[in-house]
């Protein structure tokens, strides 16, 4: 079934703009409302979108997922997609995950993965293995964010690292989005942006809850301390 161009124009024209990352506290609309609007997609495009999200969204991976599972999902998506833009987006995200996985392995004191080991994606594997001891594996020209990611992983700074990686992924989507306005690629880019906004909102919301609970407990502890002093 071919897509109706007018339906996609209406869909994208009616969707609220995602806005800058880290500014909004939540995505511009709920997932329920977004899914309702996405019903205009053809069955083929609906399946493709789900496949792409499955490949790129950590929230959709099973808890017990291995590096091999992530790679398999990404490669399965690449094998089925004809769009050069969507293939580029997937490759870019998987390359990012490969670099981060390598940094984490090295931070744990592991040696360079042996040749043929299943742990990452694409052509970066050989370059990373050969430059294992270099701070950014010699890839800082290609990935300017990599030295900063290495420092954050070394310091175990999870929140700044999450922010850095989401920012890079969002920028990559913005770059590709400049070439697509009312087609299926534009729909996918919008949904992937929504996923990033939702991920940050959930991550930041969890931390806000933890901070609030910490303040509450601290307040109760202080109150309890005062009460006991009054009784003695």
Per-chain mean pLDDT for the chain:
85
Q: Which residue has the tokens 């939540």?
A: 26
Residues 34/84, Cβ–Cβ less than 8 Å: no
Give mean pLDDT, residues 103-123. Answer: 90
The per-residue pLDDT for range 193-214, each reduced to its tens digit, is: 999 999 888 876 555 444 444 4
Amino acid 51: pLDDT: 94
Residues 218/43, Cβ–Cβ less than 8 Å: no
Residues 86/185, Cβ–Cβ less than 8 Å: yes
Amino acid 231: pLDDT: 38
Q: For 163, how many CA atoms within 13 A lie in the half-sphere containing its CB? A: 10
Collapsed DSSP state (helix, strand, coil) of residue 136: coil
How buried is 67 (Cβ within 10 angstroms: 0-12 exposed, 13-18 middle, 19+ buried)? middle
The per-residue pLDDT for range 14-73, each reduced to its tens digit, is: 999 988 888 878 899 999 999 999 999 999 999 999 999 999 886 777 666 777 788 888
The structural domain count of the chain equals: 1
Q: d(Cα 52, Cα 44) in Å, to the nearest integer?
A: 12
Residue 172's closest CA among 81, 95, 78?
95
Give mean pLDDT, residues 144-163. Answer: 95
Give mean pLDDT, residues 207-231. Answer: 43
Residue 79 has pLDDT above 50, yes or no: yes
Amino acid 3: pLDDT: 63
Residue 187's closest CA among 3, 28, 73, 49?
49
Domain that holds residue 190: 5-231
């Amino acid at each position: 079934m071919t897509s109706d161009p007018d339906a996609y124009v209406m869909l994208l024209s009616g969707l609220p703009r995602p806005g800058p990352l880290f500014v909004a506290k939540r995505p511009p609309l709920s997932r329920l409302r977004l899914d309702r609007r996405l019903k205009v997609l053809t069955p083929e495009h609906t399946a493709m979108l789900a496949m792409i999200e499955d490949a790129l969204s950590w929230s959709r991976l099973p808890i017990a997922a291995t590096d091999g599972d992530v790679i398999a999902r990404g490669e399965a998506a690449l094998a089925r997609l004809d769009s050069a833009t969507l293939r580029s987006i997937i490759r870019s995200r998987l390359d990012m995950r490969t670099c981060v996985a390598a940094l984490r392995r090295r931070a744990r004191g592991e040696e360079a993965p042996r040749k043929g080991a299943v742990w990452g994606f694409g052509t970066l594997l050989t370059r990373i293995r050969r430059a294992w001891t270099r701070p950014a594996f010699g890839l800082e020209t290609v990935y300017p964010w990599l030295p900063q990611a290495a420092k954050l992983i070394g310091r175990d700074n999870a929140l700044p690292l999450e922010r850095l990686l989401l920012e890079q992924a969002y920028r990559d989507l913005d770059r590709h989005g400049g070439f697509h306005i009312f087609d299926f690629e534009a729909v996918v880019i919008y949904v992937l942006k929504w996923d990033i906004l939702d991920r940050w909102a959930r991550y930041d919301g969890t931390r806000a809850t933890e901070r609030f609970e910490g303040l509450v407990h601290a307040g109760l502890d202080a109150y309890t301390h005062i009460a006991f002093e009054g009784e003695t």
